[in-house]
Amino acid sequence: MSEEKELTIEAARRSETGKSYNRKLRAKGLIPGNIYKEEKSEMIELDPKWLSKAWKNGKKFNLSIDGQIKPVVIKELQINPVKRSAVHVDVMYL
């Protein structure tokens, strides 16, 4: 079998919260999300372009934040039922 190269998705930390800010993010083509660690979580924003491919390939991918690449797994992906686009994603470090 051929081994596939693992997908890497760029993300950025975000400090603002709220419905209004998240709507502005989605209007820019980004989606809000959370990275869950053992006891705390971090808020991120990422490009959903490769998210569907990661979902189809076992929900595992590499997340690049601040120059660091770490493996993560998708725990929850919320999808708009009409547009069929990602609305929010929760990931967890492996």
> Residue 1: inside a domain, yes or no?
no
Q: What whole-number distance in Å separates Cα of residue 52 and Cα of residue 85?
A: 9
Q: pLDDT at residue 2 above 50?
A: no
> Residue 89: inside a domain, yes or no?
yes
Q: Say what the pTM is.
A: 0.85
> Residue 37: inside a domain, yes or no?
yes
For residue 20, the domain's CATH number is 2.40.240.10
| Domains: count for the chain | 1
> Residue 2: inside a domain, yes or no?
no
> Residue 3: inside a domain, yes or no?
no
Better-scored residue on pLDDT, 1 or 6:
6
Q: pLDDT at residue 29 above 80?
A: yes
Q: pLDDT at residue 5 above 90?
A: no
Q: Mean pLDDT, to the nearest integer, of 48-56?
A: 87
What tens digit of pLDDT does each residue of 65-76 get?
A: 999 999 999 999
Q: Mean pLDDT, to the nearest integer, of 46-61?
A: 88
Q: Is the dihedral of CA 5, 6, 12, 16 positive or negative?
A: positive
